């Protein structure tokens, strides 16, 4: 009887390992919004980490969060670090590419509550007096991340935050004085 139970458990473990192993090795989360403001105004909201507090979906989750800015004041080489409660965790963002009014690429390093390194991108497409902004994040899934993603969908987990952030960015950019 014990042998049958152990054999059944071994089969279950093997099946779970195989199911986890065949999960996608990467993920992508993406959201887009159209903002009634020129590309330079919208680009400036993202290119300078000092502006993020006004629209970031995570900025208000921890009023006591410690923040620091290093490197360049904005654009390539700008660095933002944070340490906060369990909702915001701890991490570091570094602008690795900044093409005015076109693209911003960020190395996003999470330290707590889990370690991960992803790439975030903001693409800007001018359309008349409006700017279409696409916020995306891509990352790789190691074995543990694949297992977690069986029960936690990254798109549902982060996508809503991207939507909130883009809506706040829209409010901020559209309320700014026109030049």
Domain ranges for the chain? 26-175
Among 48, 92, 40, residue whose Cα is nearest residue 66: 92
Average pLDDT of the chain, as a whole number: 90
**22 has a pLDDT exceeding 80:** no
Q: Phi and psi of 103, rounded to 5°? A: -155, 140
- For residue 118, the model assigns a pLDDT of 94
Element (H, E) at 80: strand 78-83
pLDDT tens per residue, range 33-86: 999 999 999 999 999 999 999 999 888 888 889 999 999 999 999 999 999 998
pLDDT tens per residue, range 86-97: 888 999 999 999
Among 118, 64, 70, 103, residue whose Cα is nearest residue 87: 64
In the 8-state DSSP scheme, what is residue 163? H
The topology (CATH level 3) of 26-175 is Alpha-D-Glucose-1,6-Bisphosphate; Chain A, domain 4 (3.30.530)
Q: What is the mean pLDDT of residues 135-157?
A: 77
**Confidence at 143, pLDDT banded by 50, 70, 90:** low
């Amino acid at each position: 009887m014990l042998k049958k139970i152990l054999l059944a458990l071994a089969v279950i473990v093997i099946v779970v390992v195989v199911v986890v192993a065949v999960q996608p090795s990467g993920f992508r989360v993406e959201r887009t919004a159209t903002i009634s403001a020129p590309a330079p105004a919208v680009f400036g909201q993202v290119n300078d980490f000092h502006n993020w507090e006004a629209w970031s979906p995570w900025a208000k989750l921890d009023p006591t969060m410690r923040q620091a800015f290093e490197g360049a004041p904005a654009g390539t080489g700008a660095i933002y670090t944070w340490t906060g409660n369990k909702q915001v965790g701890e991490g570091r963002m570094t602008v690795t590419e900044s093409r005015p009014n076109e693209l911003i690429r960020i190395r996003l390093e999470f330290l707590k509550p889990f370690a991960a390194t992803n790439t975030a991108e903001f693409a800007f497409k001018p359309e008349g007096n409006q700017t279409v902004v696409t916020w995306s994040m891509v990352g790789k899934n190691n074995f543990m991340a694949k297992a977690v993603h069986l029960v936690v969908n990254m798109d549902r987990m982060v996508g809503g935050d991207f939507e909130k952030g883009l809506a706040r960015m829209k409010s901020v950019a559209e309320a700014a004085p026109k030049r």
